[in-house]
Amino acid sequence: MKTRNLISITDLSKGEILDLITTAQEFERNPNQRLLEGKVVASLFFEPSTRTRLSFETAVNRLGGRVIGFSDASTSSQSKGESLKDTIMMVSNYADLIVMRHPLMGAARYASEISRVPIINAGDGANQHPTQTMLDLYTIQQTQGHLDNLTITMVGDLKYGRTVHSLLEAMHHFNPRFNFVACDVLQMPGQYKQFCREQGIPYTETTEFSSDIINQSDIIYMTRVQRERFSDMMEYERVKNLYTLTASMLQGGKPTMRVLHPLPRVTEIAQDVDDTPWAYYFEQARNGLYARQAIICRALGINV
């Protein structure tokens, strides 16, 4: 059995992404399969989470495995000064797989270089969130029927938003077109725009969330302005409420268009959007279970 880390979405080829989607479809049909009998999965969350942690833990439970770990690092020996290296060395003595979220960019890659068992990155600072991307891709495929030639509008915190960074990189396999909508201080970082140019991916960049942009979109990917990434709270207060999607803004949207959001949301999607046919973010979060079941099996080398 070949075990495998998942640190960045770029660790996956196009073929592997499509295989994971197929496996996730199988888990959506039948989520209860005892494929992890006798396996222990460590769930180490050094940053808060609702969806990622609970969907991973549900995935393990539905596959017949067991979960150890913590959801609050202050209850771990990190609070006594233990290093990440020593924590990973210890936990890889106990578990068959480690799922880790950490506030520092690169922490998951570092952990994978130390660990004796595979590491799945459940988010590392503003860097990557590859398992979110797999559920996003699964959801896009589910709603559009395919992944190719789509116009994806990303809105909000494009600077620190690890979900948009990972999604942008993953979509390069599928001939996308992007609209980046963000205020001056939260624009898509240069390295990702450079990546688009190198890959021949067309993109627009604007501060205005216009009806033209909404009406041409296949996917609107809203993101939260992340308070926890700001060192200057005055700046956070200035930009936190600049973009709020409302139901009335969607009225000219394509019937097939869907609004996604990695969640949690604060003010960026008004509650009245929830009742429109374009809202799909709660179904998207549900898909996290199936995508993560597929990712766990890949990590442990289990054929489904």
Active site residue 80: yes
Strand partners, 98: 42, 119
Query: From the CB of 72, what's the least distance to ligand CP, in Å?
Result: 14
Spatial distance between the Cα atoms of 100 and 98, rounded to a whole number of angstroms: 6
Out of 39, 51, 292, 298, the active site residue is 51
Nearer to ligand CP (CB atom), residue 263 or residue 289: 263
**Which of 46-54, 191-199, 218-226, 242-250 is the region at the interface with ligand CP (rule: CB under 6 A)?**
46-54
- In degrees rounded to 5, what are phi and psi of residue 217? -85, 145
52 binds ligand CP (CB under 6 A): yes
Spatial distance between the Cα atoms of 48 and 54, rounded to a whole number of angstroms: 11
Taking a C-beta distance cutoff of 8 angstroms, is the pair 221, 278 a contact? no
Tokens, residue 147: 């992944």
Nearer to ligand CP (CB atom), residue 263 or residue 291: 263
Tokens, residue 93: 């003595």
Out of 129, 193, 258, 298, the active site residue is 129
Query: From the CB of 168, what's the least distance to ligand CP, in Å?
Result: 16
Out of 2, 29, 80, 146, the active site residue is 80
Site for ligand CP in 154-173 (CB under 6 A): none
Rg for the chain, CA atoms, rounded: 19
**Binding-residue pattern over the window 267 to 286 for ligand CP, x denoting contact by CB under 6 A:** --------------------
265 binds ligand CP (CB under 6 A): no
132 binds ligand CP (CB under 6 A): yes
Nearer to ligand CP (CB atom), residue 49 or residue 76: 49
Active site residue 51: yes
Nearer to ligand CP (CB atom), residue 112 or residue 132: 132
**Which of 207-215, 249-257, 258-266, 272-280 is the region at the interface with ligand CP (rule: CB under 6 A)?**
258-266
> Interface with ligand CP by CB under 6 A: which residues?
49-52, 123, 132, 262-264
Query: What residues are labeled active site?
Result: 51-52, 80, 101, 129
